[in-house]
């Protein structure tokens, strides 16, 4: 997509990533800051009382199956007819310059939260922020069209949404789905002795950062980001898994720390077994590391036994992913086992070997 430059009348490519300070899930509020923000939203339980999983109404605690407590991927509410509703929202600034690809990636990323809970998406609502005096409406239409392509592939309806005039372009979706309340994938259900499987390679954030700074296009990274996690979710349920999360802006280490902390276990990661996108290691050595990745690593360091892992290895494991894979406590055929859960080790939710 091209636009006409006002001074010369010449056609110039629109680099969407240049209109945003961050990009993709790397523009998330840092995890430590976010946890401090929401800490006061959960009242402390009474002595001997089990904490409520969120802001449930009095008498409705048993209906809110997943809420704020452990920062899981979506909220889950029991409907009373043997099913439960999964509800989530996700949006971010441009992660690539191609508008249609950005829409595809953002939609896949939003839908992933439903898959990470073991659910099936039903309907999505567009969330669009657009600098309408700066960028043409035709580009926004391309973003929406790309998202619709992915939603249709997921069998998910798209029913309107909401838009605002914003300083930076923003796009995402609020998604509602259904899940069997007795077959939930949650981040607090990990148990010692269970292997860890990762269903997409790391390095997305590094390559996206290089794309933003240089304009180089990495088609294989776009393909990974736009791919749905539907089959991985179904395979996890088929294998009997009960614990999972998806790997996005807090990186593998950040999301695994949350899972291990919620499950009261320690996660051991075999760094050599973690799949990595072609070109990511070279790009990391060249300095294409986002601020979000550095903040992820700073957040987990107090809980990390890094062993002999180098700083480069740690930055790769903390790389801020956009529309990353599922991290499943269980073995999923066709995907690499990258470690295991073990009984809690004092002072460390994460161990690198």
For the CA atoms of 87, 262, 335, 324, the dihedral, rounded to the nearest 10 degrees, stands at 50
Rounded CA-CA distance 317/326 in Å is 14
Those residues with Cβ within 8 angstroms of residue 97's Cβ, 6 or more apart along the chain or in another chain? 13, 14, 15, 16, 17, 211, 215, 217
List beta partners, residue 268: 340, 351
List beta partners, residue 124: 158, 175
Over residues 155-165, the pLDDT tens digits come to 999 999 999 99
CB atoms within 10 A of CB 144: 20
Backbone region of residue 311 per phi and psi (left: phi > 0; alpha: psi in -120 to 50; beta: other values): alpha
Look at residues 351, 253, 322 and name the one whose alpha carbon lies nearest to residue 91: 322
What is the reported pLDDT for 27? Answer: 64
Is 25 noted as a catalytic residue in this protein?
Answer: yes
Q: What is the pTM of this model?
A: 0.89
Residue whose tokens read 């922020």: 129
What is the reported pLDDT for 5? Answer: 33
- Please state the length of the chain: 353
CB 275 within 8 A of CB 220: no
Question: Residue 9: pLDDT band by 50, 70, 90 thresholds?
Answer: very low
Which of 3-17, 28-42, 221-235 shows the highest mean pLDDT?
221-235
User: Nearest 5°: CA angle at 278, between 274 and 284?
Assistant: 80
Q: How far is CA 72 from CA 68, 113, 185, in A?
A: 7, 9, 10
CB 143 within 8 A of CB 172: no
- pLDDT above 70 coverage of the chain, percent: 84
CB 323 within 8 A of CB 109: yes
CB atoms within 10 A of CB 45: 10
* Tokens read off for 308: 């002999």
Q: DSSP characters for 218-239?
A: -HHHHHHHHS-SHHHHHHHHHT
CB 144 within 8 A of CB 69: no
Over residues 287-319, the pLDDT tens digits come to 999 999 999 999 999 999 999 999 999 999 999
3-state secondary structure (DSSP) of residue 264: coil
Strands 304-305 and 350-352: parallel
* Tokens read off for 307: 């062993």
Over residues 101-140, the pLDDT tens digits come to 999 999 999 999 999 999 999 999 999 999 999 999 999 9
Of 32-41, 110-119, 217-226, 259-268, the least confident: 32-41
Backbone region of residue 42 per phi and psi (left: phi > 0; alpha: psi in -120 to 50; beta: other values): beta
Among 25, 27, 156, 243, the one annotated catalytic: 25
3-state secondary structure (DSSP) of residue 246: strand
pLDDT reading at 2 higher than 50: no
Those residues with Cβ within 8 angstroms of residue 272's Cβ, 6 or more apart along the chain or in another chain? none
CB 174 within 8 A of CB 248: no
User: Nearest 5°: CA angle at 326, between 325 and 331?
Assistant: 120
Rounded CA-CA distance 169/98 in Å is 13
What is the reported pLDDT for 33? Answer: 74
Strands 157-165 and 265-269: unpaired
């Amino acid at each position: 997509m091209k636009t006409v430059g006002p001074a010369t009348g010449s056609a110039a490519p629109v680099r969407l990533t240049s209109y945003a300070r961050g990009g993709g899930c790397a523009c998330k509020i840092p995890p430590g800051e976010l946890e401090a923000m929401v800490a006061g939203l959960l009242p402390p339980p009474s002595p001997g009382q089990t904490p409520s999983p969120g802001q449930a109404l009095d008498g409705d605690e048993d209906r809110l199956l997943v809420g704020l407590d452990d920062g899981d991927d979506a909220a889950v509410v029991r409907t009373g007819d043997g099913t439960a509703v999964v509800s989530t929202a996700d949006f971010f600034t441009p992660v690539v310059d191609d508008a249609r690809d950005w829409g595809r990636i953002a939609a896949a990323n939003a839908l992933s939260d439903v898959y990470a809970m073991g659910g099936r998406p039903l309907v999505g609502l567009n969330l669009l922020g657009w600098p309408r005096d700066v960028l043409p409406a035709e580009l926004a239409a391309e973003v929406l069209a790309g998202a619709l392509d992915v939603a249709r592939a997921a069998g998910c309806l798209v029913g309107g949404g909401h838009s605002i005039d914003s300083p930076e372009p923003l796009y995402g979706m609020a998604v509602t789905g259904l899940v069997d309340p007795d077959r939930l994938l949650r981040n607090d259900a990990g148990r010692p002795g269970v292997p860890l499987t990762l269903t997409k390679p790391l390095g997305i954030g590094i390559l996206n950062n290089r794309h933003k700074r240089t304009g180089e296009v990495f088609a294989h990274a776009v393909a990974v980001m736009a791919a749905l996690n539907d089959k991985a979710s179904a395979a996890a349920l088929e294998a009997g898994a009960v614990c999972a999360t998806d790997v996005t802006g807090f990186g593998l280490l950040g999301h695994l720390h949350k899972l291990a902390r919620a499950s009261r276990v320690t996660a051991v990661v075999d760094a050599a077994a973690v799949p990595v996108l072609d070109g990511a290691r070279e790009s990391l050595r060249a300095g294409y590391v986002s601020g979000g990745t550095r903040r992820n690593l700073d957040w987990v360091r107090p809980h990390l036994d890094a062993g002999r892992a180098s700083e480069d290895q740690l930055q790769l494991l903390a790389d801020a992913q956009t529309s990353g894979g599922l991290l499943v406590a269980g073995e999923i055929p066709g995907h690499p086992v990258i470690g295991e859960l073990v009984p809690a080790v004092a002072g460390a939710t994460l161990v690198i070997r």
